[in-house]
Amino acid sequence: MSLNSNPIQRSKGREWLAVYSRSLVPAVLFLLVAGAMVTSTGSGLAVPDWPLSFGKVMPPMQGGVFYEHGHRMVATSIGLLTIILAAWTSRVEPRSWVRRLTWGALGLVILQGVVGGATVLLRLPVWTSALHACLAQGFFLVIVFLALAHSPSWEKRDTELPSDSRLPRLALFTTLAIYGQLVVGAVMRHMNAALAIPDFPTVFGGVLPPHWTPEILVHFAHRVGAVIVTVLIVATALAARHAPGSLRTPARCMLFIVALQVLLGASIVWTSRQVAVATLHVVVGAVLLAVSMVLTVKSRRAVPDRQKAPSTFFAPGEVPA
């Protein structure tokens, strides 16, 4: 694939591409807000057809239609912005793996739209609804990763960790655990099981449910997952306490974010799934996942090259253009 042959123009183009890629992060986060509002307000079938809305491009934005069609409008805008990102990256980015990942992001957002449409046409089955939510979190992670890869700090790599540091591995385990927790949370939301256990921190007044249903099982698993994630985040923060500031800061932020996330989760039960609280719970979970992923990438890249496998988070010049 041909790149801009003028080095000055290419450098300038990459600087602006870095700004553009960073601007996509809050834009995609807003898409997550819009999608969470659809579920929180029960508006998933407010528009029963797809890809049009009541056979129109722009239906009256009233009631649940405002949330469902508004979500579609935001998603379409993100799709167009991702097309621009892919085309721009192909033109000015010399790293082949970044170009491929950007086209992968475009494929992911297209798949996300198709799954969202199928969810409506199939009348909100749990499996497609949860898949739609999980793909959204995955797409957000890819966009955050691309913004990190385009940042000036990517090529500086002025932070080093001892080769025996536990931080990279702990951060990776934590990121995987958070994503798994978000998957369980998505299934719980779309099973309408958020209030299957109606009290918190107790469980039907005790420690374990006195009886089990699929909804109670998923809800209880989500609570257990929250404990596991919290323990991993505390362990990660402890492992990062002597690390350079660029690694300590995200680790400490995760402590605050997970505390807020637990409070929001409890508040969903206490407020009987109030819309704003339920929506914030989804969005804060996405932010926690993104921060954990950033810490994972930065900490693994901070380990000296000789200690890393060749395929681990490419260094400048490690993968040919």
Residues in the chain: 321
Of the candidates 290, 275, 287, 289, the residue with the CA atom closest to the CA atom of residue 194: 275
Which pLDDT does position 308 carry in this prediction? 45
Q: Which whole number is the average pLDDT over 235-251?
A: 92
Q: Which residues of 261-284 are buried (b: 16+ CB within 10 A; e: fewer)?
A: bbebbbbbbeeebeeebbbbbbbb
Instruction: In whole angstroms, give the CA distance from residue 203 to residue 196.
Output: 10
- Lowest mean pLDDT of 232-246, 251-265, 284-298, name the range: 232-246
pLDDT tens digits for 111-136? 999 999 999 999 999 999 999 999 99
Q: Is the pLDDT of residue 314 over 70?
A: no
- Lowest mean pLDDT of 150-154, 249-253, 271-275, 290-294, name the range: 150-154
Which pLDDT does position 302 carry in this prediction? 87
pLDDT tens digits for 17-26? 999 999 999 9
The catalytic site residues sit at: 68
Instruction: In whole angstroms, give the CA distance from residue 40 to residue 273.
Output: 8
49, two tokens: 């057809």
Which pLDDT does position 311 carry in this prediction? 43
Computed over every residue of the chain, the mean pLDDT equals 90
pLDDT tens digits for 49-76? 999 999 999 999 999 999 999 999 999 9
The 10 Å Cβ neighbour count of residue 300 is 19
Q: Is the pLDDT of residue 317 over 50?
A: no
